[in-house]
């Protein structure tokens, strides 16, 4: 992604981009990198979702970008403010890995639960998931091009792929 403006999205963070800028987040293990894109006005958004539900929030000042159920509505609001329309949006996501071999405890299935929670939220807003690279047991870094709507996924084990 040569010479394009790079907009970094940290852990438990979200941001939007337009005019060909590229959104990037690193360190996706059990976290989900969720991207939204309006292909007509070329506005993109990315959230680095750490946990499935804000109902488990314990911090005094809640970070809405940290949870799937609060990050996605906030991302939609920011994108709408930039001219995007929900009915034109499409989603792509990566991450949601099961990073450690665990027993059957559901509370420790953070990666799969993050994917499920993001999918449920997108369904509530009627946003189709165009592509995803989720699961497995490895980390990912992603970049999303706000001009082309292409999600580039990098991992040590599997190299680079585009969806």
31 is catalytic: yes
Distance CA(42)–CA(49), nearest Å, equals: 22
Spatial separation of the C-alpha atoms in residues 115 and 68, rounded to whole Å? 9
pLDDT tens for each residue of 77-92: 999 999 999 999 999 9
Architecture field, domain 6-162: 2-Layer Sandwich (3.30)
Q: How far apart are CA 28 and CA 33, in angstroms?
A: 7
Q: Mind listing the pLDDT tens digit for each residue in 13-52?
A: 999 999 999 999 999 999 999 999 999 999 999 999 999 9
**What are the sequence ranges of the domains in the chain?**
6-162
Phi, psi (rounded to 5 degrees) for 98: -100, 95
The catalytically annotated residue of 18, 21, 23, 31 is: 31
Q: What is the pLDDT of residue 104?
A: 56
- Residue pair 32/71 in contact (Cβ under 8 Å)? The answer is no
Amino acid 58: pLDDT = 81
Q: Tell me, what's the pLDDT at 3?
A: 63
């Amino acid at each position: 992604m040569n010479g394009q403006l790079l907009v970094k999205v940290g852990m438990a963070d979200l941001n939007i981009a337009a005019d060909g800028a590229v959104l990037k987040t690193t360190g996706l293990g059990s976290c989900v990198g969720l991207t939204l894109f309006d292909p007509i006005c070329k506005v993109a958004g990315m959230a680095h979702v750490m946990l499935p539900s804000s109902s488990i929030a314990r911090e005094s000042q809640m970070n809405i970008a940290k949870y799937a159920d609060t990050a996605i509505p906030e991302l939609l609001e920011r994108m709408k403010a930039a001219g995007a329309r929900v009915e034109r949006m499409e989603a792509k996501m990566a991450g949601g890995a099961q990073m450690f071999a665990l027993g059957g405890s559901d509370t420790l299935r953070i990666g799969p639960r993050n994917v499920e929670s993001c999918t449920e939220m997108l369904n509530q807003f009627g946003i189709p998931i165009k592509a995803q690279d989720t699961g497995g047991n490895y980390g990912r870094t992603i970049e999303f091009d706000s001009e082309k709507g292409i999600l580039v996924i990098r991992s040590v084990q599997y190299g680079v792929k585009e969806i």
